C-alpha cells in the first residue's frame, strides 16, 4: 500500500475490509499484491486468480462485495486498498465510472484484444467475458432460428418463460430493444411478451429450463452459460435433466442493420486510488490472455472476449456467436427507461 500508511494501521484496514490471511502483512509485502473488489462469487474466478499468481508471483487479495460496492469504495476514499473493481452487467460497470471511483488505463494489450464496442471509449472499463442472452427451446420443437421480437408473436401465447423483467439481464435486453426499435415498439413488445407468459416472470435462468422440462412452457429467454453448467453436470442430477431437455438458439434483432445476438458482460476497472496500479493493469491484461480466456470458456462456460479461444464442447455446439454490434454504452443509456417500462406494463404481475 502507500508508504504514508503505518504497517499496523494498514493491516487493520485490510482486515476490516474482509481480507483473509493477511495478519502478517507489511507495507513491503502488500506492494507485491493486487487487491480485487468483486461482486462475482470468488469461487467462479478463483482458478484464474490462482494461475495469475502462479505465473506472475503477484498475490491477489479478494474481497467479495455482494452489495454496496460503490458506497464502500467511496467511504474508504483516497486510502482505499482497492486496485481492481470487478462486476457483471454493463449497467453496474458504467455505474462505477459514473460514480467517479475508476481511472483510465493505458494498455495496448487490452485495446488490441477487446473490441471498441466492448470497452470504454476513455479506457475506464473493459469487458472480460460475454454472456449471450439466448432462447431456451424444448429439444423436440422445430425452432432453429428466432428473433427477439418473435417472442411477442401470439403463437407463443402461454408458452414463454422468463425471469423478472427487472433483473439486470432483462433490463439490459429491453434497453437494447429500445435502442434498436424505439421506446414505443419496446413497450408494445413487453406487453405482448407478458401476454405470452406461461407463468409469472420470476425465478432464475435455470428455472426456465426446469419449466420447459416440466411442460409449463416451450421456450424462454435466458443466458447461454447456464446451459454449459447444466449440460456438464453429473448425469441424473436435476441440473443435467434440465439441460438435456432444451436446445439453445441464438436470437437476433429483426432490425436489418443489426443481425447480432444481445450480450451482457463481466468486466472490470482500475480503482481511482489504486495503490498497486501497475499490478492492477497486469491482472486485467492477464485476464484477457489466451490462458485466462480458456479458463473463462471451459470453467465458467462464458463466451471469451478474445478471438480464437477454444470453447467448451457444449458451448461450441450452440454455433458461432455473432455479437450485436451496437455499443454497450448506447444500450446502457436506456436502462432507466427499460426499468420504467417493465413497471408500466406490469410485466412481473
Q: How many domains does the chain have?
A: 2
Residue 349 lies in a domain: no
User: Are 198 and 88 within one domain?
Assistant: no
Can you name the residues that pair with 248 across neighbouring β-strands? 136
The per-residue pLDDT for range 134-172, each reduced to its tens digit, is: 999 999 999 999 999 999 999 999 999 999 999 999 999
User: Are 209 and 291 within one domain?
Assistant: no
User: Are 282 and 336 within one domain?
Assistant: no
Q: Residue 329: which pLDDT band, with cuts at 50, 70 and 90?
A: confident
Residue 13 has pLDDT above 60, yes or no: no
User: Are 93 and 188 within one domain?
Assistant: no
How far is 346 from 340, CA to CA, in rounded Å?
10
Residue 116 lies in a domain: yes
This prediction's pTM = 0.84
The per-residue pLDDT for range 40-69, each reduced to its tens digit, is: 887 888 989 999 999 999 999 999 998 999
Q: What is the pLDDT of residue 256?
A: 67
> Can you give the residue range of the structural domain that contains 117?
7-129+263-310
User: Are 74 and 136 within one domain?
Assistant: no
The per-residue pLDDT for range 168-222, each reduced to its tens digit, is: 999 999 999 999 999 999 999 999 999 999 999 999 999 999 999 999 999 999 9
Higher pLDDT, 207 or 326: 207
226 is in an annotated binding site: yes
Residue 2 lies in a domain: no
Q: What is the pLDDT of residue 20?
A: 41
303 is in an annotated binding site: no
Residue 16 has pLDDT above 60, yes or no: no
Q: Distance between alpha carbon 58 and the CA centroid of its chain, in Å?
A: 25
The per-residue pLDDT for range 108-135, each reduced to its tens digit, is: 999 999 988 889 989 999 999 999 999 9
Q: What mean pLDDT value characterizes the chain? A: 89
Return the CATH number at 113: 3.40.190.10
Count CA within 13 A, CB hemisphere, residue 235: 0
Amino acid at each position: 500500500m502507500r508508504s504514508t500508511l503505518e504497517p499496523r494501521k494498514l493491516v487493520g484496514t485490510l482486515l476490516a475490509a474482509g481480507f483473509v490471511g493477511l495478519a502478517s502483512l507489511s507495507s513491503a509485502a502488500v506492494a507485491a499484491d493486487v487487491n480485487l473488489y468483486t461482486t462475482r462469487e470468488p469461487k467462479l474466478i478463483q482458478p484464474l486468480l490462482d494461475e495469475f499468481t502462479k505465473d506472475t508471483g503477484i498475490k491477489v487479495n479478494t474481497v467479495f462485495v455482494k452489495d454496496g460496492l460503490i458506497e464502500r469504495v467511496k467511504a474508504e476514499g483516497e486510502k482505499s486498498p482497492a486496485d481492481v473493481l470487478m462486476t457483471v452487467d454493463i449497467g453496474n460497470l458504467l455505474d462505477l465510472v459514473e460514480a467517479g471511483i475508476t481511472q483510465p488505463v493505458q494498455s495496448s494489450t487490452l485495446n488490441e484484444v477487446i473490441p471498441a464496442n466492448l470497452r470504454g471509449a476513455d479506457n475506464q472499463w473493459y469487458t472480460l467475458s460475454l454472456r449471450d442472452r439466448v432462447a431456451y427451446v424444448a429439444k423436440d420443437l422445430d425452432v432453429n432460428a428466432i428473433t427477439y421480437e418473435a417472442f411477442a408473436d401470439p403463437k407463443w401465447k402461454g408458452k414463454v418463460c422468463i425471469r423478472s423483467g427487472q433483473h439486470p439481464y432483462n433490463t439490459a435486453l429491453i434497453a437494447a430493444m429500445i435502442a434498436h426499435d424505439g421506446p414505443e415498439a419496446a413497450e408494445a413488445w413487453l406487453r405482448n411478451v407478458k401476454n405470452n407468459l406461461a407463468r409469472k416472470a420470476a425465478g432464475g435462468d435455470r428455472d426456465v429450463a426446469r419449466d420447459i422440462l416440466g411442460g409449463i412452457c416451450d421456450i424462454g429467454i435466458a443466458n447461454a452459460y447456464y446451459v454449459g453448467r447444466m449440460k456438464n453436470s453429473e448425469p441424473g442430477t436435476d441440473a443435467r435433466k434440465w439441460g438435456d431437455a432444451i436446445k439453445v438458439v441464438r436470437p437476433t434483432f429483426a432490425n436489418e442493420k443489426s443481425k447480432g445476438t444481445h450480450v451482457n458482460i463481466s468486466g472490470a476497472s482500475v480503482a481511482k486510488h489504486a495503490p498497486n496500479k501497475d499490478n492492477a493493469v497486469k491482472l486485467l491484461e492477464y485476464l484477457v490472455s489466451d490462458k485466462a480466456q480458456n479458463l473463462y470458456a471451459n470453467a465458467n462456460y462464458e463466451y471469451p472476449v478474445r478471438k480464437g479461444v477454444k470453447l467448451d464442447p457444449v458451448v461450441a455446439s450452440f454455433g458461432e456467436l455473432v455479437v450485436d454490434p451496437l455499443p454497450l454504452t448506447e444500450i446502457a443509456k436506456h436502462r432507466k427507461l427499460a426499468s420504467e417500462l417493465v413497471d408500466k406494463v406490469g410485466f412481473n404481475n
